[in-house]
Amino acid sequence: MFLYGKNSVLERLKANPKSIKKIYVQENFHAPHIMKIIKSEHVPFTYVTEKELMKVKRADRLQGIVAESNIFTYTPFKHLLYTSAEKSLSLVFLDGINDPHNLGSVMRITACFGGFAVVIPKHGACEVNETVLHVASGGENFVPVSMVTNLATALREARGAGYWAVGTVVEDGEDINNVSLPFPLCLVLGSEGKGIRYGIQKQLDLKVTLLMTGAQLSFNVAMACAIFGHEIAKQRP
């Protein structure tokens, strides 16, 4: 896989430099703090022209640096489930999120709040790819991500392990401003178009919504994650 952009490469260098195989640096690249870490960690690097860099990774906003890294490693769900209680992690279940920008934003948002992990389904949704990592801006180094075969089954297993399942809905949910959230907690976020699927809704212990007094427009999943994630972080014991 290729990481690109200053933040993505810098955070990986700080968190796990051994996962980087080689770094390509544009000739006019100026970021002494990044180059210092590259050299101190003895990560192989080479200077290239802008044209050569685009041949390594064709994307917008390369910011003069591209790192070839190991493929993304998912955290096994059982490991996540049975070690997160003592770490007080809240689990964010993403149901049917296909936009890599939304998945990357969710990873970045939850990394900023701290104390979260993300669970995604293996089928019918976006996986963690290079675009996701770029948008996450290094968030993958702080947020475990688990991929499961069946999201409803995984949610049922989490409930069996003592977690409460809280789903976000546009209508008929309890006002998030007036709810005392139960912990440990699984937050379920659905896609913009379909919301949370019926089979997963049956697993929910609580449905919450954010009442809007302005235009009746919905938040995308990343915005919803930021709003509900803030409330979880505020109420977390």
Confidence of residue 86 (pLDDT cuts 50, 70, 90): low
Determine the Cα–Cα distance for residues 2 and 71; give it in Å rounded to an integer.
9
Q: Which two tokens stand for residue 236?
A: 């977390």
Reported as type and span, the H/E element at residue 111 is helix 100-113
pLDDT tens per residue across span 113-141: 999 999 999 999 999 999 999 999 999 99
Tens-digit pLDDT profile for residues 27-61: 999 999 999 999 999 999 999 999 999 999 999 88
pLDDT digits (tens, 9 = 90+) for 178-228: 999 999 999 999 987 788 999 999 999 999 998 877 766 678 899 999 999
Q: Nearest-5° angle of CA 201, CA 205, CA 207?
A: 65
Per the prediction, the chain carries an average pLDDT of 94
How much is the pTM?
0.94
pLDDT of 84 > 70? The answer is no
Tell me: the pLDDT tens digits for 154-172? 999 999 999 999 999 988 8
DSSP, collapsed to helix, strand or coil, labels residue 227 as helix
Contact (CB, 8 A) for 163 and 205: no
Identity of the amino acid at 81: L
For the beta carbon of residue 179, count every other beta carbon within 10 angstroms.
16
Please name which of 95, 100, 222 lies closest in space to residue 155, comparing C-alpha atoms.
95
pLDDT at 96 over 70: yes
Report all structural domains of the chain as residue ranges with CATH numbers, in order of start.
2-69 (3.30.1330.30), 77-235 (3.40.1280.10)
**Cα separation of 159 and 126, whole Å?**
24
pLDDT at 212: 75
